[in-house]
Amino acid sequence: MSDVQLTIDGAAASVPEGATILEACRAEGRDQPTLCYLETLTPVNTCRVCVVQVAGSRTLVPSCSRVVEEGMEISTDSPAVRQTRKMVFEFLASSVDMSLVEDQTQQWMDHYEVDPTRFGPAAPDSPAGARDARHAGHHAPPLAGLTETVAQPVKIDNELYVRDYAKCILCYKCVEACGPDAQNTFAIQVAGRGFDARISTEFDVALTDSACVYCGNCIGVCPTGALMFRSEYELRAAELWREDEQSVTRTVCSFCGVGCNLELHVQDNRIVKVTSPIDHSVTSGHLCIKGRFGYEYVQELGDLATTPIDIVLAAARTS
């Protein structure tokens, strides 16, 4: 494949044909903010924080999906790009709880001097189920001077993970991971329309009544902490979650012969979360229920150095 010649912020660059603008920018050392983009998922172009200016285009274009063309003149830091990104972040931060976004995202928000309070104080939270019951094409008028948000109670309907849609920016990543990009389970989709769009099972039934297989791949791709291990959620609620004290140990899942790599997040000598490296050739960051949640038996074993092996094995078999 031949290379394409273009300019990024005035500097000439040569990038492989078929690359996206985002890939081109990153190859040239000019990182861009992203929210709905992930290397392992199909770009959905929905968050619009990665937009850039392309000479000749009336509107800004999403760098995550737009493929480079010969002679493209790309600006990643023009006034229009800066202002639009700032507004998009402000739209999100004024409507969604973004307190658990990745550090990088927070840095971008600081970079663009994001001030979500400009739109006025937040309206009261929606009661449980209220947002799920909204009908497309209808909404109540704004409450005097208040700013509508997606705030609502956390959904807890199973032992393994929680869904805190007050933190959902609707990036579609969980839908893609549950669907054709990873798990092919299709337990969730975006339902409703406009600001009332939400991630939902059919008729908003509990996950335990849905097609969910608890692989947790939706948690793995969620960029805002809306989807979270129950263990993490409860530790956070008890103000015991201490990420900086956690160690991460990479190992191979012992449940079958596929060879998925696991990252065990350990705090106070307990496993509190399991992830998989996104660049691992076997998993691309995805796991199944056993690898993701089947770690309890490890904690039942006691000290491996002093426990006889038959006790270790017996405990493993019964867990």
Partner 1 sequence: MSVETSDAERAAVDELLGAPDSGWVGGDRSAADHHIARGGVRQAAGVRHLLLPALQAAQGAIGWVSPGALNYISERLSVPPAEAYAVATFYALLATEERPRRVAHVCEDVSCRTRGGRELFEELRERDDVVASPCLGQCDRSPAVLMQRAGEYDASLWYSTPESVVDVLEGAEPIDPNPGHFGIPQTEAGSDGLRLLHRVGAIDPYSLDDYRTAHGYAALSKALEMTPTELIEEVKRSGIKGRGGAAFPMGVKWEAVVAQGSDPVLVCNADEAEPGTFKDRGIMEGDPFSLVEAMTIAGYAIGAHRGYLYIRGEYPRAARHVASALEVARNAGLLGDDILQSGFGFDIEIRMGGGAYICGEETALFNSIEGFRGEPRQKPPYPAEAGLFGLPTAINNVETLINLPLIVLEGGEAYAARGTPESTGIKLFCLSGDVVNPGVYEVEFGATIRELIELAGGPLDDIAAVLLGGVSGSFVGTDQLDLPLTFEATREAGVALGTAVVMPFSSSTDFDDVTKRIAAFFRDESCGQCVPCRVGTVRQEEALYRLFDGPPTTTGEIGLLTEIDEAMKLGSICGLGHTAGSAIQSAIALGLIGADR
Where do contacts with partner 1 occur on this chain (CB under 8 A)? 44-49, 51, 59-60, 62, 65-66, 80, 83-84, 87-88, 91-92, 94-95, 118-120, 133, 135-139, 141-142, 144-148, 169-170, 186-197, 200-203, 205, 209-211
The contacts of residue 222 (CB under 8 Å, 6+ apart) are 173, 174, 228
- Residue number, 11 or 146, with CB nearest to partner 1: 146
Distance CA(6)–CA(12), nearest Å, equals 6
List the structure tokens of 96.
């969604």
The whole-angstrom separation of Cα 106 and Cα 229 is 22
Residue 281 CB, nearest distance to partner 1 (Å)? Answer: 25
Which stretches of 193-287 are assigned E, i.e. beta strand? 198-200, 227-229, 247-252, 261-267, 270-275
Residue (33 or 291) nearer to partner 1, CB: 33
Q: Which is nearer to partner 1, 118 or 250 (CB)?
A: 118
Q: How far is the CB of 246 from partner 1 (least distance, A)?
A: 32
Residue (195 or 297) nearer to partner 1, CB: 195
SS3 for 229?
strand
How near is the Cβ of 219 to partner 1 at its closest, in Å? 17
Q: How far is the CB of 45 from partner 1 (least distance, A)?
A: 4
Kindly report the backbone phi and psi dihedral angles of residue 21, in degrees, each rounded to the nearest multiple of 5, phi listed first. Answer: -60, -40
Residue with smaller CB distance to partner 1, 169 or 253: 169
The minimum distance between CB 148 and partner 1, in angstroms, equals: 5
267 DSSP β-pair partners? 270
End-to-end CA distance of the chain: 52
Q: Least distance in Å: CB of 86 to partner 1?
A: 8
Q: Which is nearer to partner 1, 209 or 296 (CB)?
A: 209
Can you read off the two tokens belonging to residue 106?
């927070």
Q: ∠ CA 206-211-215 to the nearest 5 degrees?
A: 95
